[in-house]
Amino acid sequence: MTALNNSTPLARPLVVRSGVLAADIRTISDAAMFITNLPKMYDGRLHWTLAGSTLEAADRHPEDADLLRTATLAMENALVTERML
């Protein structure tokens, strides 16, 4: 996943304050790393899969601002779904 090395800022920063998972997610790389480092109990959940897929799409198409906004929103929705945001 090349998104792990992408320093493109998200449409807006996301601040996670959920116990040991606390993080400031500011870039595509931050978001991809957060998903990659989630505990195994989160594997296969649709909202994380969607967030990861949209981050990868935004990584592949850096010229598309709509994809970046979609990736940011998908990440935010996944965090809200898990009550991490």
pLDDT in tens, 27-76: 999 999 999 999 999 999 999 999 999 999 999 999 999 999 999 999 99
Could you give the CA distance from residue 7 to residue 21 in angstroms, rounded to a whole number? 21
The tokens describing 1, both together, are 């996943």
For 59, other C-beta atoms within 10 Å of its C-beta total: 21
Q: State residue 19's pLDDT score.
A: 74
Helix H or strand E encompassing 76: helix 65-81
